[in-house]
Amino acid sequence: MPTIIDLRSDTVTLPPPEMRRAMYEAELGDDVYGEDPTVNRLQQRAAELLGKEAGLFVSTGTMGNLMAVLTHCRRGDEVILGDRSHIFNAEGGGSAVLGGVAMHPVPTEPDGTLSRAQLRAAVRDPSDAHYPRTALICLENTQNPCGGAVLDLPYMSQVRATADEIGVPIHLDGARLFNAAVYLGLPASDVVRAVDSVSFCFSKGLAAPVGSMLCGSRAFIEQAHCWRKVVGGGTRQAGVLAAAGLYALDHMVDRLADDHENARVLADGLVELPGVRLAQPRVQTNIVIVDVAGTGLAPTAFVERLMKEGVLSGEYGDTLVRFVTHYGIERADIDRALVSVRRIVQRVPV
């Protein structure tokens, strides 16, 4: 059988052989005691790259975001965030379940931003005992459901000004932070300069098998470290995983530009097909979301037929299908995927 082309998500990446070798050879210790040298190097390296004082290695991006909210907020507080954000929609309500922290969603614009007017309107009157305390703003960069949309520096600076007016910190869900940095052509530290804390994933476009990072001030990370223990996130010889993160930071960031180019080629080819329409303002990074209503196929049928052609994609709403490029997907795979989509929209028998 031909090789499966898996465009469901960049979480399906497999580590390159050199990354596996780095994991095998990692110097190890007990990280609960703070004695794993590879974890310690990774935390320091990540903090330096992001221009923050300290970092904390965590198992997942969801855990990183949860630690951030629990550290910034106290029980009964409220977080302002986008109604299409991962924290609000896809993290099991952890902040409410474990921290008693409420979510106050505001509309996410098509470009992934939250309007300053909406942010300001969502702030609670601290003198009114009926309301919870507004304690945090959360942003997402890149913004996944908006097609990997990138928040640029002027916008981040505007939100910083709003947060300062309100008197609250900003946390950035930067699961695909380095995709944003590569798109903008800027160091990651510039992209996150306006925020107080940031999480990012090693296990998406950076191709590591496990792991995320939370960065912020030293005092913030010390408290987040306590919360990590509370939720069972303390690990022992975690350097075997941290080694993959170190390799990713050294070798897997610049190549994200290839994923972005493949996504643009894929999008350009898809919108030329009858009945297929781009469902995002533009393709900036590695996510392509298309509306297939015009093909006469429901997303479920579209995805199932494409799977029979050996191409995996993801149903993403009433009429939407998502494709994500990543390490392991080459230009030839994009060309083959386009041929397969053309066959199913033209009703060529599989």
| Stretch 164-175: mean pLDDT | 97
Contact between 7 and 316 under an 8 Å Cβ cutoff? The reply is no
Q: What is the average pLDDT score of the chain?
A: 96
Q: How many whole angstroms separate alpha carbon 342 and alpha carbon 68?
A: 44
If one counts every other C-beta atom within 10 angstroms of the C-beta of residue 121, the result is: 10
Contact between 81 and 105 under an 8 Å Cβ cutoff? The reply is yes
Flag whether pLDDT at 319 surpasses 70: yes
pLDDT of residue 346: 87
Flag whether pLDDT at 3 surpasses 90: no
pLDDT of residue 28: 98
How buried is 127 (Cβ within 10 angstroms: 0-12 exposed, 13-18 middle, 19+ buried)? exposed
Q: Dump pLDDT digits (tens) for 26-59.
A: 999 999 999 999 999 999 999 999 999 999 999 9
Residue with the two structure tokens 């190549």: 255
Flag whether pLDDT at 348 surpasses 60: no
Per-residue pLDDT band for 347 (boundaries 50, 70, 90) equals: confident
Q: How many whole angstroms separate alpha carbon 38 and alpha carbon 239?
A: 5
Q: How many whole angstroms separate alpha carbon 328 and alpha carbon 343?
A: 24
Q: Dump pLDDT digits (tens) for 263-310.
A: 999 999 999 999 999 999 999 999 999 999 999 999 999 999 999 999
Amino acid at the residue 122: A
pLDDT of residue 317: 85
Q: How many whole angstroms separate alpha carbon 6 and alpha carbon 13?
A: 9
pLDDT of residue 31: 96
Give the containing element (helix H, strand E) for 49.
helix 37-50
pLDDT of residue 277: 97
What residue ranges define each of the domains in the chain, with the CATH number in brackets?
5-12+255-345 (3.90.1150.10), 17-249 (3.40.640.10)
pLDDT of residue 2: 63
Higher pLDDT, 29 or 346: 29
Residue with the two structure tokens 């230009």: 331
As given in the structure block, the two tokens for residue 184 are 């903008």
280 torsion bin: left (phi>0), alpha (psi -120 to 50), beta (else): beta
Among 164, 184, 163, CA closest to 174: 184
pLDDT of residue 349: 53
Q: Dump pLDDT digits (tens) for 188-232.
A: 999 999 999 999 999 999 999 999 999 999 999 999 999 999 999
Q: DSSP state, 107? A: P
Q: How many whole angstroms separate alpha carbon 114 and alpha carbon 171?
A: 14
Predicted structure pTM score: 0.96
